[in-house]
Structure 1
Amino acid sequence: MGIVLAVLIVVILIGLVRCIVIVPQSNAYVTEWLGVYKDTWGAGLHIRTPFVERVARKVSLKEEAADFPPQPVITRDNVTMMIDTVVFFQVFDAKAYTYGVNRPIQAIENLSATTLRDIIGSMSLDETLTSRDLINTKITASLDEATDRWGIKVNRVELKNIEPPAEIRQAMEKQMKADREKRASILLAEGEKQAAITRAEGEKESAILRAEAVKQQRIREAEGEAQALLMVQKAKADAIRLINEAQPSKNMLALRSMEAMEKVAEGQATKIIVPSEMQNLAATVATITETAKS
């Protein structure tokens, strides 16, 4: 009896432990009573009625990302492209998510492909390649509206990759290469233009500096010549002034005249004009001699 009682107590304890359910944060448990929906448990401690109540589904309330494989779509101008999408969604109603649709991820994938074909089918190739944000907004709004009854909120949809046909990709690559070469040529031309402008400005500045230096040199030379001329004239003026102050006699002036005539006679001139005052040279010389003796 003791052994049976111990076994019974252990079984009861195990049953009680199994009746205690702890729901983690950001999760919801959907419970059923004899196969019928009973309640949705949030995070925390819960007690389950043994044998008649069970957890039918454990649902994560975190945002999830579903990466779907590329889907073939046809544009308005009959160009087939491969587009793969990433759908970010979150469960907000665990009951609707559990009982609203079978395999909800697959349902979102099919709905995403259908919606994408409808949107791309109304756009041209150029609009598809340049309107990624617009496509994301349209498909997000469409999926969010359709998945409300499944307890799912679609937060956003991103076009992961858009692959046009091979011939169009090659044409686009050639165009991109041509655009890059054009931009490189423009940048090179701009650089050469700027370099030429810089060289011209440098040459201009150099020419201005050289002209200014020549100008300053000529000004200094002119000032030096003027200063020298002034000094010569001043010296002559000082000499005349000193002679006037000394009041030389006629005999002294005659002697100076004779010295000047000697210098003239030493020159290359073939004719010498003698002033009338010097015609009586003998008398003048004699007078000077007598004056020198006295």
Structure 2
Amino acid sequence: MRDILDEATDKWGVKVNRVEMQEILPPEEIRTAMEKEMRAERDKRAKILQADGEREYQIRVANGEKQARILRAEGEAQAKILVADSEKKAILLIAEAVKDTKTDPAQFQIALRYVEAFKEIVKQGDKTVVLPYESSALLGSVKTLGDIFHK
């Protein structure tokens, strides 16, 4: 373009240093094609941004769920440890309480659990209670409880 301008203006002694185009009016077909290309590029960028946003959302949701599961598991583990420690203390206290009675602490615990289980059975209101064949051992356990509480 510069060569064409120089050729046209040299014969008058004019040198063109800069040319500025104010308006370009391409044919309608080219304008339509350019608009389609710009629209396609904007749509492409919008889809990429939408996909990136969706991906980021999914990652954040997954991380939140993961953290929630971890915290629940840690809480359950701590609860189990506290329950185990409490049971240990209870067993030690029972062992200490029954050591003078010459009663086996394990036998005492079993008898206590039998009594608790039968209380629950009675609360259910059923009229028929089926006892296992080995329920005769329960009578010895109940006797042990009675002996301990009377001392």
Classify the TM-score, shorter chain. 0.5 to 0.7
Q: Which residue in 2 is equivalent to 1:140?
A: 9
More strand by share: 1
CA contact (8 A) 1:140 1:157 kept: no
Q: How does 1:182-201 map to 2 (within 5 A)?
A: 182-201=37-56
Distance in 2 of aligned mates of 1:209 and 1:226: 26
Q: How does 1:1-294 map to 2 (within 5 A)?
A: 131=1, 133-144=2-13, 154-156=14-16, 172-244=27-99, 247-248=100-101, 253=103, 260=111, 263=115, 268-272=130-134, 274=136
1:183 CA drift (Å) = 1.4
How big is each residue's C-alpha offset from its partner over 1:139-167, in whole Å with a ceiling of 9 and x where there is no partner? 333321xxxxxxxxx35488898xxxxxx
Could you tell me the TM-score, scaled by structure 1's length?
Answer: 0.34
Which blocks of at least 5 consecutive residues in structure 1 are unaligned?
A: 1-130, 145-153, 162-168, 282-287
Paired residues in the alignment total 122
The alpha-carbon distance between structure 1 residues 157 and 142, as it changes in their structure 2 partners (threshold 3 A), is farther
How big is each residue's C-alpha offset from its partner over 1:161-200, in whole Å with a ceiling of 9 and x where there is no partner? 8xxxxxxx77x33112211221111111211121111111
SS across alignment from 1:272 = helix
Could you tell me the TM-score, scaled by structure 2's length?
Answer: 0.60
CA contact (8 A) 2:9 2:16 kept: yes
Distance in 1 of aligned mates of 2:33 and 2:58: 37
Percent identical among aligned pairs is 12
The alpha-carbon distance between structure 1 residues 235 and 143, as it changes in their structure 2 partners (threshold 3 A), is same
State the structure with bigger RCO (CA 8 A, min sep 6), 1 or 2. Answer: 2
CA contact (8 A) 2:9 2:15 kept: yes
More helix by share: 2
- Greater CA radius of gyration, 1 or 2? 1
The alpha-carbon distance between structure 1 residues 238 and 137, as it changes in their structure 2 partners (threshold 3 A), is farther
CA contact (8 A) 2:6 2:15 kept: no
Distance in 2 of aligned mates of 1:228 and 1:191: 55
Which blocks of at least 5 consecutive residues in structure 2 are unaligned?
A: 119-128
